Amino acid sequence: MAPKKSAAGKVKVRRIGSPIRRDGSQRATLMGLGLKRANQVVELEDTPSIQGMIRKVHHLVEIVK
């Protein structure tokens, strides 16, 4: 059995903005993060690719503690 990962390697993200009138790539990034609804919170692995996706749509999401 694989060992469980600690919460230190995770990041929680909440969608606070609307993808209406946004570029299609920003909509795709939100979907890639798993954010489909307003105020939805998802917990993701804290990897460089996820950090880049968050940076791309930083005006539409917030990091939840």
The answer to whether residues 50 and 27 touch, using CB atoms and an 8 Å cutoff, is no
- Could you tell me the domains of the chain? 9-64 (3.30.1390.20)
**Rounded CA separation 21/11 (Å):** 27
Half-sphere exposure of 55 (CA within 13 A, CB side): 7
Q: What is the full per-residue pLDDT of the chain (65 aa) written as tens digits?
A: 555 555 679 999 999 999 999 999 999 999 999 999 999 999 999 999 999 999 999 999 999 98
pTM attached to this predicted model = 0.84
Q: Judging by beta carbons within 10 Å of its beta carbon (0-12, 13-18, 19+), is residue 38 exposed, middle or buried?
A: exposed
